Amino acid sequence: MRKLFSSLLLLLAMAPTTLTAQVIVNGRDVNEMPDVEYIELIEDQRPFMQRQVFAVIDYGQPIRWGELRLHRIQDENRRDRVFGSEMDIFNFLHKNGWVHEMTFAKEACVYHIFRRKRDQGGADK
């Protein structure tokens, strides 16, 4: 019984490190793209849907202004992921290995730059 308990405890301790979430954009997991070091978050909130906030992610792919919807974060079923607020998006990205670097405004838009987290030795996580 003690061995079973120890094994279960070890498994639970390792679970947060082995389970990884995904940042899926247009069917691709940005976390699995080793060449992507920075991403840009553009909040996409429709005026008539005040409780629905979407996150558009630019990781260097070509984006046409009229096609922003195609670059929203999606769930596992490829449906647009709905966030409760901008802070909900920030927390989601943080949990997925991204660190907020800077925010700036240009014309009528606000842009947020995130960098991939690094471990203690400086390597990408």
Asked if the structure places residue 80 within a domain, the reply is yes
Asked if the structure places residue 64 within a domain, the reply is yes
Residue ranges with strand state E in the chain: 24-25, 28-29, 38-45, 53-58, 73-74, 98-106, 109-116
Q: Note the pLDDT of residue 43.
A: 82
DSSP class of residue 68? G
Asked if the structure places residue 53 within a domain, the reply is yes
**pTM for this structure?**
0.73
Asked if the structure places residue 7 within a domain, the reply is no
User: What is the extent of the structural domain holding 92?
Assistant: 21-116
Asked if the structure places residue 87 within a domain, the reply is yes
Domain count along the chain: 1
Q: Residue 93 corresponds to which tokens in the numbers above?
A: 């990205």
Asked if the structure places residue 71 within a domain, the reply is yes
Q: Note the pLDDT of residue 67.
A: 82
Asked if the structure places residue 58 within a domain, the reply is yes
Cα atoms in the Cβ-side hemisphere of radius 13 Å centred on 62: 1
Q: Residue 13 corresponds to which tokens in the numbers above?
A: 């301790």
Q: Note the pLDDT of residue 1.
A: 52
Asked if the structure places residue 121 within a domain, the reply is no
Which residues of the chain have a pLDDT value below 70?
A: 1-21, 46-50, 120-125
Q: Note the pLDDT of residue 114.
A: 98
Amino acid at 30: V
